[in-house]
Structures are given as C-alpha cells and as structure tokens.
Amino acid sequence: MTEIFTGSFTQQEPIPAEGIEAAMAVLHHGRLHRYNTDGNEVAEAALLEEEFAAQMGAKYCLACASGGYAMATALRACGVKPGDRVLSNAFTLAPVPGAIASVGATPVFVEVTADLTLDLDDLADKLDQARVLLLSHMRGHICDMDRLMAMCNAAGVTVIEDCAHTMGAKWNGTWSGRHGAMGCYSTQTYKHVNSGEGGLLVSDDPDLMARAVMLSGSYMLYGRHRAAPPPEAFADVRLETPNISGRMDNLRAAILRPQLHNLDAQARRWNDRYKVLEDGLADTAGLTLIPRPDHESYVASSFQFLLLDWSDAAITDVLSRCAARGVELKWFGADDPQAFTSKYDSWRYANPQPMPRTDRILKGVIDMRLPLTFNLEDCAMIARIIRAEVAAVWQAQAA
C-alpha cells in the first residue's frame, strides 16, 4: 500500500501556557507599548532583552520588529551609507539583500559551496570590495567561523551575522551571533521561537548598540533598557541618530520569554527529527545529503538535500510525486521564484552578476520545513516517501 503523509508543514506547536498567561496579563492591563509602564514595572520587552543577552553571553540586546529590521539597524549602526557595498551570501533569503538595499547600499554576492555555506575562497577574493559582511547562516548551515573571522579581522571587514536560522546553534563552542560585531535573530513564526514577527539584536560594542537603540525609536527613554549600554554611550548619538521606529511590543515579548527558556530542549527535539530524516535518506542514489562539520552544533528546524546536476524536468517530477503523497518540498533552483525560494538572480534591484558555480548548487537545492508538530515516525515516513520517489525518477532517467 502506498504511504500518504497527512501532516501540515506549516503548523507550529501552540504557544506555551506560560506565554499565553503572560500575554493575557499584558492584554488585561493594556500597556503593549514597551515604554508604557506603571510605577516600578519593568516592561516585558526590557526583560526579554536582559534574558536573551544573558542567554547568549552578550553585553547588550535590543528587541525589535523583525529580523530584517534587526539587520538593517545593524548595518546602519555599523556606518553603512547609501552607495556603499556590502558582502553577503549568494544563497540566502530576500530579507538579507533587502536589508542592504534598505540603507541604500549594494550587495556584493559571495559564492556558495555544496555544503550550502559561504565559499571562503571566493570571500578572500572579494574582501577588498567592501568593509562590511552581512553573513547569512542560511537554513542553519554554519561555515568555518574561525577561518572567516581571521580573514575579516585581517582585512578590517566588520561582520554582522544573520542568525535567523541558527538561534541556539554554535560553531566550535561559540553561540551563533557571537562571532561578529553584531548578531541578528528572527522570531517570525517559522523560526526557533515564535512571536509571529519579531527580531533580536546582540552586541558587546556599546557604541554600536547605543546607535541601534536610538535607531529603533527609543526617543530619550533609553534608560529604561536593562540590556543597553550605560548613559554615557548615548551622550552624542542621542542627538545625531534618526528615529527609524521598529520596536518590539510587550505582547510579543511576553510570548517569547518562556520559549527562550526552553530553547535547548526544543533544539534537541528538532535534531532528533533531522537525524531520522538523514538516516532514512542516506545512500539514496542521485541524492546528496549536506554534511554537518564536527565543529558545528546545529538546530535543524529545516532539512535540505541536493539533486545535483539533475534536469529541471526530473526535479519537477520529484517535487510533484512527493506532493501527491503529502510531502511538501521547495526548490531554490526554479527560474521563476515561488513563495520564499527566490535567489540572487531574482533580486534585480541588486544588479547581480552571473555566478555559474553557485547556479549549479542552487539548481539542485531542495528544502523542507521540519516543524515540531511532526513526530519521529512522521519523519521516518517522509524519508521513505522522498527516497522512493527520488529512486523512481533516478531509475527512469537512467533507463
């Protein structure tokens, strides 16, 4: 009998009861704006920042409206101006080049490897073209951060990390987001904690974070931030920095705090599911799994594999056959972008130049969400379905 998977690839787990209770308290008192407090009350947003900074071992944290806003704020705080060039991954999602474009800068795309990480050899050739790298840990894959930071430090290039897919992950024992000058995280529904939309920005640099707080729309209320630099860091920037409002509200902060407390346990659950899929797809003819380096401690909330050098027709056939059996796969190699799967040559505002090596990789990238609403047997069934349909199309091609 042919197996059909009936689960939803977009259904998340409920918000924890503790988060619902905290959100209801905010709704009852009505003080959703982060600076609207009563007496000695500490705002949920300020508590979230304080707790996340401690969790990541950072001196400072800012909660904001989205991960994209966090990236744009980091770029502005680091002094990126209109007309500047900013290095970034050719394999990423649209908010990354969008953040660069939002400050009037131009992306300089760096090639991607078959491990789905930044090509450090290509980065070495391009380091003299910009003074900032907005590094995307796309789909949770982390490059050799020790080598990258040594290269960037030697070249005087400031690193901003996009950790939308790596909250709770590490490279060589150091949290993702803590290698560069600033780390940006997303709390959008399909990320590792869920507030619908939201972002977090961390740094140890008091000047960068003072500018970020002012940019976020603190007015002169920066003293209410418990994870911000001391008042003297604001002495000049408070009068020189524009207000580009993008604050997080207390309702979303209330929902997030208990989820962050449980992040390690959630990471283990995601990785258990990932391992079942990885084992189930091992040694499938024509299918390439993405290796995970020993130095990488990942949080696998999604799954990728390559159908490398397959024809468009064959890849489309695999996608259709899996979809007919309830398995929703996304393809980053289609000429016409679908949903979130746009790629560097789709972002015409960036005037991208052809990148044949990256094109070959992206043409084969297949992507799948891995929500925690799936159990381990669900993942085993999904692996069986993908394996069977890839094998069927592979054999048909060979024939």
How does residue 331 score in pLDDT terms, banded at 50, 70 and 90? very high
- In this predicted structure, the answer to whether residue 112 has a pLDDT above a threshold of 70 is yes
Fold for domain 263-398? Aspartate Aminotransferase, domain 1 (3.90.1150)
Q: Which residue has the higher pLDDT, 157 or 335?
A: 157
Tell me, what's the pLDDT at 335? 86
Average pLDDT in the 169-181 region?
98
Alpha-helical regions (H) of 221-311 = 237-240, 250-261, 263-281
- In this predicted structure, the answer to whether residue 318 has a pLDDT above a threshold of 80 is yes
- In this predicted structure, the answer to whether residue 399 has a pLDDT above a threshold of 90 is no
Separation between Cα atoms, residue 259 and residue 233, nearest integer Å:
31
Place of tokens 């707080």: 213
Average pLDDT in the 1-26 region?
95
Separation between Cα atoms, residue 70 and residue 263, nearest integer Å:
20
Closest C-alpha among 24, 5, 8 to residue 254: 24
How does residue 17 score in pLDDT terms, banded at 50, 70 and 90? very high
Average pLDDT in the 76-90 region?
98
Closest C-alpha among 313, 343, 310 to residue 111: 343
Task: Work out the percent of the chain whose per-residue pLDDT is above 70.
Answer: 100
How does residue 293 score in pLDDT terms, banded at 50, 70 and 90? very high
- In this predicted structure, the answer to whether residue 362 has a pLDDT above a threshold of 80 is yes
Tell me, what's the pLDDT at 348? 92
Is the CATH code 3.40.47.10 the one for domain 17-261? no
Dihedral of alpha carbons 271, 273, 274, 275, sign: positive
Domain ranges for the chain, please list them. Answer: 17-261, 263-398
- In this predicted structure, the answer to whether residue 1 has a pLDDT above a threshold of 70 is no
Separation between Cα atoms, residue 144 and residue 314, nearest integer Å:
33
Say if CB 111 and CB 133 are below 8 A apart. no
How does residue 397 score in pLDDT terms, banded at 50, 70 and 90? confident
Tell me, what's the pLDDT at 398? 80
- Note the pLDDT tens digit of each residue in 232-280: 999 999 999 999 999 999 999 999 999 999 999 999 999 999 999 999 9
Task: Work out the percent of the chain whose per-residue pLDDT is above 90.
Answer: 95
Average pLDDT in the 39-50 region?
97
Average pLDDT in the 189-205 region?
97
Average pLDDT in the 78-99 region?
97
Q: How far is CA 100 from CA 161, 181, 224, 244, 350, in A?
A: 13, 17, 30, 15, 9
Tell me, what's the pLDDT at 336? 87
- In this predicted structure, the answer to whether residue 179 has a pLDDT above a threshold of 80 is yes
Report pTM. 0.97
Closest C-alpha among 188, 187, 142 to residue 161: 142
